[in-house]
Every structure is written in structure tokens, then in C-alpha cells.
Chains A and B, each alone.
Chain A
Amino acid sequence: MSGQPMTKTVDMAAFDRRNADWYIDKLVQALVFIGGISAIIFVVGIFAFVTKEGFGFILDRFDFQEFFTSPYWYPADEDAPEYGILALIAGTASVTGLAMLVAIPFSLGTAVYIAEFASGKTRETLKVLVELLAAIPSVVWGFIGLSIMNPLIIELFDVPVGLNVLNAGIILGLMAAPIMTSIAEDALKAVPDRYREAAEAMGATRWQVIYKTVLPAAKNGLLGAVLLGVGRGFGETMAVLMATGHSINMPGSVFDSVRALTATIAAELGETAVGSDHYQVLFTIGIFLFLITFVINLTADLIVRGIRKG
């Protein structure tokens, strides 16, 4: 052996480190990769399947102008069904709008208090309470609107019906506030402490530090929090179904009952025959909702990510 050149007799297999562990490693890598892309598959799947069910309507009956500008929603009419969702959009928009009026000041105020004023045990307790507020299921909120808020509004404002924009707006505001609070709080916490220290060293009071330094620095994150709150309000279903009164109206005041896009799907899908026009138009509304929340979430993400880079 000694005189022969090594290269010719080298057994490549001896250098092959691919033992069982190596193969297991590759297998696991493939498996977790499937997990990783599952989120993409599901989002695409949601869009594909909802579109598939609603596609027939879009091809045959869809009239862009009627759909978005007519307030007449009579999809169950046998002779002359009408598919205008303007009143439903108005319902969703009015409730979400009022909800934001409630939620924005309260959630930003709470976030500022938790992040900048409170400390130690108080801060932890408040955070836990906000988290518990976020945990209340939407159907329970709806029930609260129905059984607690409804008589309260009738009593306080002397109106015949307490299930209206005001009721659903307050309920939805309370629902959206916790998630907005925690995102806003994250945004405030992301502002480096040295900003605060620098301002304090200049003799600024805590409020001046917050107002002049922290809030401007956290601006984008706070905007993202608000946008996500809007998205949440837009997509909320059960609470809105139960607290709005669910009657088709172009709202003129906060005491009008309205009907939301999401609630319409929830209330009517069970009564329709699979494949009918009515069934398909509900899926078309679903596509519309999907696209809107998609844009809202994308924008919020871009804004929030913008600050991390900047």
C-alpha cells in the first residue's frame, strides 16, 4: 500500500457524513418549511375559495355601479332581486367610525399612561386588565349590547330602540381598544430611553417629554395601531350583528339602526341555497371584505415597519 498514490483508492463513502441524523435533519427542515409556507397557502386559499363560490355572480349578475351605489338590498326577492350594498357599507362605516371616536382617545391615553406614567405593579396590573378586556368573545359583547346597553340607551336618550349605531359603536370601540392599546404601547416602548433622558436633562417635565419627544417619535407605530383597530372594527361580526338592530338604513343619526356587511353574511348565509344568486352575492361581499382588510393590514404593516428601518 505504502508506495501507491492515495488518490485513486480513496473510498469516497468514508467521507460521506450523511448518517441517519443528517437525513432526519433534512426531513425536519422540509416539514417545518411546509409549516412556514402554510400561512401563505391559507391566505391564498381563503381568497381562492371565497372567490370560487362568488365567481358565478361576478360573471353573470355583477353590476359595479348597482353593487356599490345602490342602497337597495333585496337579495331574497324572487321577481326583482336587488343587490346594492351601499347601505351596508354605510352601516359598517358609521359603526366603525363611531367606534374609532371612542377607541382612539381611550386606547392612546391608556397606552401613554401604561408606558410613560405607570410603573411596577400598577403597570403590570393595568396590562393584565387590558389583556382580559381583549379576551372577551365577540358574541358576549353582542349579548352585552343586546341586554345591558339596549335598555340603558332607551332610558338615557328616550329613544324607542336602543340597538343602533351608538350601541354598536361603543361596543366595538371597547372591543378594538385593547388591541390598539397594546400595539400603541409597543410603539411607545420602542422609542429609545435616551430620547427621554435627553429631554429630561433639558428640564422638560414628564408631559413635555411625552408630548414633544415620545409621541412624535412613535407617530408611525401609533398610526399603525389605529389602522389595525379600523381593520378589527370593519371585520367584526357577531357583536355588530347583535347590537346594530340589523335593519337596512342609511344612517342619519347615531340613534338609527343599521346593518353591517359582515352581519349580513352571518344572518343570511344560512337561509340561502348553495349556488343561488343570493348565496353567491354573499361570497362577493366576502371578497370585498377580504380585499379591504388586506389593504388595511398591509398598510399598517408597512407603516409600522417603516419606523423600525428609519
Chain B
Amino acid sequence: MFETSELNIKNQRVQRLFKILFLLMTMLLIAPVLLILGTLIVKGGSVISIDFLFTSPTDGMTAGGIFPALLGTVWLVAVALLISVPLGIAAAIYLSEYAGENWFTRIINLAIINLAGVPSIVHALFGVGAFVLFFKFGTSILAASLTLAIMTLPVVIVATRESLQAVPFAFREACWNMGATRWQTIRRVVLPNAVSGILTGVILEVSRTAGETAPIMFTGAVFFTPFLPQGIFDQTMAMSLHLFVVSTQVPGVPENLPYGVALVLIAMVLIMNSLSIAFRIYLRGKKKW
């Protein structure tokens, strides 16, 4: 009864064509990641050894390892997290549990979007003006981590708010009906149900923070220091800046050395990211409501 008309066949063909076209685009977008990873592994793999990871650079940074930069990045990320995680979670609790739908909430949301959208180098200028000069922290881990914390704050806020809002409203109502205060409800019911989602966001933030370069260039990270950081008022080397330095600023670096640095940096970031993604998928499977 229904004959396949010529128009119909043509339409089917157009559909198939577009499907293939879009698949091709997707592949072309994703192919560079694999190519890049492959090149980094091939060229950088030979450089990486236990010694490379745990010794200092030598011979004007043309030889030796990356330990001070690695340790510096750990310091910067840890201090930044200590600042941004509590603040971000507080902000998310406010937005999800207290804030009403009004102009004030709109402004907060706009501020969060803008905080995420301000260029990283402007964050760096802010860090110099505010933390290095005005608050007189000098170029230090503290100043750099504060700058990083403010820059990556939106990541924590958005992830936490999403996981708080995923907790069904009925859970809260049930708790209020028992006579619990708002905070008791948040602490005993909402947060325990959202904690894994928040953790996913925090891991993602670690990955973002570890890779940033511009915000720490003038606030706390230095090209080279013979000393390992001892406290938050010290300057430090950092992985991201170290990659910039060995690939552009130092003459006579052996060809494969920067590849090794890049490989370690990208491995750190991608491992963190994959953890966050795997964790999220695992949680989705476990979800009870």
C-alpha cells in the first residue's frame, strides 16, 4: 500500500549523508586528542623515569628532573582547594537551599558565569594587584593559590549546586516535618546524599587548577628556584610554568625533555579527569531515586 516514493528515497539518502558528515566532524574533533596523546607518549615516554620525577633540574634546566615543579604544583593545588572548596560549597548551599528566585540570585549567577569567563591573564593581574601588592603576600604560594582558587571557584559551585539540586525535594520536606531546622536538614539529609557528586566536582577542579599557567606566572610561580617550597609564603616552581619555560625560554634543551614534562602534566590532568568521569558514571548507575 505504501510505496516508497522517489522523494522518500532521496530524503533517506540525504539523512544518511548528513549522519556520516556529522560523524566525520566528530571524529575529526576527537582525532587530535588521540594524535596528541600518541605523540606525547612516543616522544616523552623515553624521558620519564623515577629519576626524572624525583630529581631537580640541572645544567640550567637542560637536564635533570622535574621534582620541584611537581611538588610546587601539589602545593598550589592543595592550598587553592583549601580555599575554594569550602567557599564554593557554601555558595552552592546558599544558591540551592536558601536563595529565592529573585534579582539578587540572578546577579549571583551572572557573577559566577563572569568569574568563569574572565580571561586567565586578567585573573593574574587581579592576583598581582590584590594579593601580591595590596595584601602584601608577595609572590608566594598563598597569592598564587588565592588567584587560582577564585578562578576555579565556579567549577566547585556549579558541580555542588547540581548535586544538591539532584536530591529530591521530598527528602527535605520529610526532614522539616520532623521539626529539624534548615541546617540540620542540610547536614543530615541533603549533604550526605550529594557528597559523591560534590567530590566529582572537586576532582575536576584539581585537574583544572593543576593545568593553569597564566594566573600563577606573576603571583607565585617562578621559572627556577633551587629551593623546595617550605610554606605558603615561599615561591615555587610549577609543572605548567615549567613546560612553558623549557619549551620557550631556555636555550639548548634536548628535544625530548619538554615532551616528557608535557606528558607528566597531561597525565596528571587526564587521570584526575577520568577519575571524575568514572566516578560520575558509577554514581549514575547507583542512583536510587
Using a CB–CB distance below 8 Å, which chain A residues touch chain B? Answer: 21-22, 24-25, 28-29, 31-40, 42-43, 45-46, 49-50, 52-53, 105-107, 109-110, 112-114, 117, 124, 126, 128-133, 135-140, 142-144, 146-148, 174, 177-178, 181, 205-208, 210, 228, 231-232, 234-238, 242, 262, 265-266, 269-270, 274, 282-283, 286, 289-290, 293-294, 296-298, 301
Known: A21-B181, A135-B269. A242 touches B19 (CB 8 A): no
Kindly provide the distance from the CB of B30 to the nearest chain A CB, expressed in whole angstroms: 5
- Tell me whether A32 and B117 are in contact in the complex, defined as CB-CB below 8 angstroms, given that A132-B273, A139-B240 are known contacts: no
Cβ-defined partner of A39 (8 Å) among B18, B153, B243: B153
Contact for A109 among B21, B87, B112, B126, CB less than 8 A: B21
> Do residues B33 and A34 form an inter-chain contact, with CB atoms below 8 A?
no
Q: How many Å from the CB of B202 to the closest CB on chain A?
A: 15
User: Which of B119, B123, B243 interacts with A143 by CB under 8 Å?
Assistant: B243
* Nearest-CB residue, chain B, relative to A21: B181
A147 touches B247 (CB 8 A): yes
The reply to whether A143 and B247 form a contact with Cβ atoms under 8 Å apart is: yes
* A181 and B33 alpha carbons, distance in the complex (Å): 15
Query: Do B133 and A274 have beta carbons less than 8 Å apart?
Result: yes
- Are A235 and B125 touching (Cβ within 8 A)? no
**B118 lies within 8 A of A235 (CB):** yes
User: A208-B11, A238-B213, A282-B125 are contacts. A106–B25 as well, Cβ < 8 Å?
Assistant: yes
B181–A22 CB distance below 8 A: yes
Q: Is the interface of A mostly helix, strand, loop or mixed?
A: helix
> Complex formed: what's the CA distance from A252 to B100 in Å?
53
The answer on a CB contact under 8 Å between A269 and B128 is yes
Q: Does B281 contact A (CB under 8 A)?
A: yes
Smallest CB separation, A281 vs chain B (Å)? 12
What chain B residues lie within 8 Å of A142 (beta carbons)?
244, 247
A36 pairs with B90, CB closer than 8 A: yes
Taking a contact as CB atoms closer than 8 A, the residue among B18, B98, B124 that contacts A36 in the complex is: B98
In the bound complex, residues from chain B placing their C-beta under 8 Å from that of A109 are 21-22, 25-26
Q: Does any Cβ of A come within 8 Å of B211's Cβ? A: yes
Given that A114-B26, A143-B258, A286-B122 are contacting pairs, would A237 and B130 also be in contact in the complex, using a CB cutoff of 8 Å? no
B69 an interface residue at 8 Å Cβ cutoff?
no
Cα A39 to Cα B19 in complex, Å, equals 42
B269→A136 contact, CB < 8 A = yes
Docked CA distance A89–B129 (Å): 24
Please give, as numbers and ranges, the residues of chain B lying within 8 Å of A22 by CB-CB distance: 181
Cα(A40)–Cα(B94), bound, Å: 14
Contact B19 A117 (CB under 8 A): yes
Do A293 and B125 contact each other (CB < 8 Å), given the known contacts A133-B30, A139-B213, A139-B240?
A: no
The secondary structure that dominates the B interface is helix
- A206 near B29 with CB under 8 A, answer no
CB<8 Å pairs between A and B, sample of 8? A22-B181, A32-B90, A39-B153, A136-B270, A137-B213, A137-B269, A206-B15, A238-B213
Of B22, B29, B86, B133, which one neighbours A117 at CB under 8 angstroms?
Answer: B22
Task: Chain A residues near B29: list those with CB within 8 A.
Answer: 106-107, 110, 130, 133, 174, 177-178, 181
- Asked if B115 CB lies within 8 Å of chain A CBs, one says yes
Residues of B that sit less than 8 Å from A by CB: 11-12, 14-15, 18-19, 21-23, 25-26, 28-30, 32-33, 36, 39, 86-95, 97-99, 107-108, 110-115, 117-126, 128-130, 133-134, 150, 153-154, 157, 181-184, 186, 207-208, 210-214, 217-218, 240-241, 243-244, 247-248, 258-259, 262, 265-266, 269-270, 273-274, 277, 281
> A50-B122, A131-B273, A207-B14 known; A117 and B248 CB under 8 Å?
no
Given the interface pairs A36-B99, A148-B39, A228-B117, the reply to whether A105 lies near B111 with Cβ below 8 Å is no
Given contacts A147-B258, A297-B113, 5 further A-B contacts (CB under 8 A): A25-B183, A50-B122, A210-B18, A238-B240, A290-B118
Question: Chain B nearest CB: distance from A240 CB in Å?
Answer: 10
Q: Are A262 and B30 in contact (CB under 8 A)?
A: no
List residues of chain B with CB within 8 A of the CB of A207.
11, 14-15, 18-19
Beta-carbon contact of A110 and B265 below 8 Å: no
Q: How far is the CB of B210 from chain A (nearest CB, A)?
A: 8
The 3 A-B pairs of least Cβ separation, nearest first, read A35-B90, A137-B211, A235-B119
Write out the residue numbers on chain B whose beta carbons fall within 8 Å of the beta carbon of A208.
Answer: 11, 15
CA distance A262 to B123 in the complex (A): 11
Whether the Cβ atoms of A42 and B122 lie closer than 8 Å is no
Cβ of A261 to closest chain B Cβ, rounded Å: 9
Set A40, A136, A293: member contacting B108, Cβ < 8 A: A40
A28 contact set on B, CB distance < 8 A: 182-183, 186
Interchain CB contact under 8 A, B122 and A290 = yes
Task: Given A132-B273, A242-B248, A270-B218, verify A32-B91 contact (CB < 8 Å).
Answer: yes
Q: Is the CB of A297 within 8 A of B114?
A: yes
Give chain A residues whose Cβ lies under 8 Å from the Cβ of B39.
148
